Chains A and B, each alone.
Chain A
Amino acid sequence: MTKKIVAGIDMGSRTAKAVVFSENKILGHYIDFAGIDSAFESRRVLEKAVDIAKLPRDCISYIVSTGYGRIIVPFADHNVTEITCHARGAVWLFPNTRTVVDIGGQDCKSIKCDAAGRVQNFIMNEKCAAGTGRWLERVAETLQLPLEEIGSLSLQPVSKPATISSVCAIFTQIDILMLLGAGVHRNDILAGTLDSFSSRVWTLVERVGFEPDFLICGGGAKNIGFVKRLEAKAQAKARVPPEPQIIGALGAALIAQERVC
């Protein structure tokens, strides 16, 4: 019997992710910026993931889509909410996961789940840039630093962390400019802004209820300054997957596998 190969596609607001999956193994994955034409992009990331898996293009038996743009993947067999997919993907990767914190491009979520990856409670913010990747991007832009560097710099304060009282991305940008004008070192500014960011995210986690083990995913998981601070708030070590952005697509692929077999 030929093994069934399935795929999960996560169409986020900023990035599109595809995971090719079979017999409980990730065969290939691909991430790219979402662009304007979602239908085209979704097919493209899937094809790239299939190519990376060194498989023929038509090998996929079943496709589940998820994410912000899940209903505009024209060739998906089924679509599932990203909350469900993230919980499933997280627990598959790390079976002791009970809390999932996802920092996406334009949203952030905290999900409480059980041992089977079923969602018990969740909260998602997609209305306000605070707590999302965009917020971090703006901070990096304001300080004229690459996004990839702000996390580690925030962990190397020169003096004491600056106090940032704003939550809003725009007002935080203004706060940063004023601090720069007052001669505060950018590491200290970053320490203050990451403190503010992490507090904001932790508020969401507390509202849903925190239970270890917890997993941090999404683009924001690559920010070590954020990860360390959230661990301090949780008083627990975080699991950060090696590819933190594909958890949703992975969960979608798992559901695809269930549905096809």
Chain B
Amino acid sequence: MIAAGIDCGLENTEVVLWDMDKSRLCFSTSANNGTNTTDEVVRIALCKATKQVGITLKEVKIVATTGTFASNVSAAHIRVSPSQCLATALNKFLPSARTVIDFGAGKTLVVKCEGGIPLSVALNDKCAGGSGIFLEMVAKLLHIELSNLGDLTLAGKQTVEVQSTCAVFAESEIISLISAGKKREDILRAIAYACACRIYPLLNLVTWQADVAMVGGVAKNIGIVKAIEDLIGAQLIVPEDPVIWGALGAVLVATQ
């Protein structure tokens, strides 16, 4: 029997297929929402997933959803909170992790958990400063591919400071820095540390404990990972395929 977990994020939607008999992941995919409705994105992703695995849509017995637009999914059987998804997924696949940072496009969620239970939660979903969307804006401004952002950030030196915490004002600041001839990697370094400074209070709010894992699209940015590690003085565990953890947790909760 196959179950699906769907994480409907602000920018991207992840779908995982879980083999309930063999108790393992059989497929995962991530799709950009574009201008499609949530239902359309989910339908296309589910079709792709079931085709790859060689089953029909009808054979997906349970559909579990989570994320910003989870309530838009008409085919859902169960909706799971993001923090519960993360706590469950961590408990199964990263049992040493006590704290997780989910750094997505529009929200940053920090959860302290134990034994699959979220103990405390801190969330920023109101301010785009330091968000994944903000990093995309920065990449565009500096004419860098999003996938190269991390490496270039690591090459940066501490010669520049970005004062603004607001994404809109920071954009202007960056333009001024570029006009002043500052190096892109140095600007990126400053931005990375500014983002880490936004995460830090969330970690403190949950009274974080090691090990700390990081998931979400921004976990692929090694520059941000390093900046957070420097700030908290601890290593982060970044799992392979960090974007699927919400969807994975949803389907695990649904099939428990």
Contact = CB atoms under 8 A, between A and B. Distances in A.
A binds B: yes
Contacts of B22: none
B169 A170 contact: no
A174 B131 CA distance: 14
A167 B168 CA distance: 13
B167 A170 contact: yes
Contacts of B168: 129, 134-135, 138, 169-170
Contacts of B177: none
Interface residues of A, number: 17
Contacts, number: 44
A162 B25 CA distance: 41
Contact of A128 (B131, B133, B137, B166): B166
A168 interface: yes
B55 interface: no
B106 interface: yes
B35 A167 contact: no
Interface in A151-198: 166-171, 174, 177, 181
Contacts of A25: none
B165 interface: yes
Nearest to B125: A171
Interface string B1-37: 0000000001000000000000000000000000100
A36 interface: yes
A127 B166 contact: yes
Interface in B103-153: 106, 126-128, 131, 133-134, 137
B171 to A, nearest CB: 10
A106 interface: yes
B126 to A, nearest CB: 6
Contact of A168 (B10, B126, B137, B172): B126
B179 interface: yes
27 contacts: A36-B179, A127-B164, A127-B165, A127-B166, A127-B169, A128-B127, A128-B165, A128-B166, A129-B166, A129-B167, A129-B168, A134-B168, A135-B168, A138-B168, A166-B126, A168-B127, A169-B167, A170-B128, A170-B131, A170-B133, A170-B134, A170-B137, A170-B168, A171-B126, A171-B128, A174-B106, A181-B35
